[in-house]
């Protein structure tokens, strides 16, 4: 399957921004946020997230448009890109889990994207949707990317949905602090470090979301 690059459309992004806000407001009873990371104008950032639902494809767009305001792009499975081609217009580009050569091209494209001013990249290191509560097992793409660009922040974002208080789901998002990484670590050691940081965030969300709103702000 051919590589699909991003093809951002400022007009489409402006319209889709409003649509996305209204969509989340209609489908969720509340959207809550903890934000420990606030990028500077000069920041370059890789955000990595857990991947448990269809909504994960829209959450990066929502966060960037209303909080981070960076030049954002995101990796998306090529099959999903073909099914939802409009994601190109908001900065998504394809990656194939079945074609190693194509994956390398996607990773190189990601590096070039991160060299832009105030650039950011959203990545789901598991590479596929996984059941909620399952152990995080990252591929090495995130670790490899982190080595390619100097002065970059690598930031975990936890996503957790529940219906504890209502038949309509609530969405809790937790943006962590940049993960400090020692240069001497191998890709496997880096991956495990990133897994541990996101696992800690998800564990906190599972214990507090729906029971204690302290520390959260109402995002939508």
Residue 68 tokens read as 């981070």
The rounded Cα 132 to chain-centroid distance in angstroms is 16
Gyration radius of the chain over CA positions: 17
Q: How far apart are CA 209 and CA 107, in angstroms?
A: 34
Which overall architecture, per CATH, does domain 10-218 show? 3-Layer(aba) Sandwich (3.40)
Count Cα neighbours of 178 within 13 Å in the Cβ-side half-sphere. Answer: 15
Average pLDDT value over all residues in the chain? 93
In angstroms, rounded to a whole number, what is the distance separating the alpha carbons of residues 219 and 152? 26
Higher pLDDT, 52 or 17: 17
User: How do residues 52-81 score in pLDDT, each as one tens digit?
Assistant: 898 998 999 999 999 999 999 999 988 889
Q: Predicted confidence band at 14 (pLDDT cuts at 50, 70, 90)?
A: very high
pLDDT digits (tens, 9 = 90+) for 167-220: 999 999 999 999 999 888 998 999 999 999 999 999 999 999 999 999 999 999
């Amino acid at each position: 399957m051919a590589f699909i690059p991003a093809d951002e459309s400022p007009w489409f992004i402006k319209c889709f921004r409003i649509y996305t806000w209204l969509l989340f407001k209609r489908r969720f009873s509340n959207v809550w946020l903890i934000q420990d990371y606030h990028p500077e104008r000069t920041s370059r950032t890789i955000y990595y997230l857990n991947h448990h639902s269809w909504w994960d494809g829209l959450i990066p767009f929502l966060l960037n448009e209303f909080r981070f305001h960076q030049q954002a792009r995101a990796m998306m499975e090529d099959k999903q890109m073909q099914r939802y081609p409009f994601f190109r217009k908001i900065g998504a580009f394809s990656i194939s889990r079945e074609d190693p050569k194509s994956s390398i091209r996607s990773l190189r494209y990601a590096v070039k994207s991160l060299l832009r001013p105030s650039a950011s990249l959203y990545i789901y290191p598991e590479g596929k949707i996984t059941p909620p509560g399952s152990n995080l097992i990252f591929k090495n793409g995130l670790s490899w990317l982190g080595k390619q660009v100097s002065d970059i922040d690598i930031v975990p974002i936890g996503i957790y949905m529940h219906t504890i208080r209502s038949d309509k789901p609530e969405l809790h998002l937790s943006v962590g602090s940049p993960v400090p990484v020692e240069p001497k670590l191998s890709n496997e050691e880096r991956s495990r470090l990133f897994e541990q940081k996101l696992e800690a965030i998800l564990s906190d969300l599972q214990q507090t979301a729906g029971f204690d709103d302290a520390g959260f702000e109402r995002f939508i």
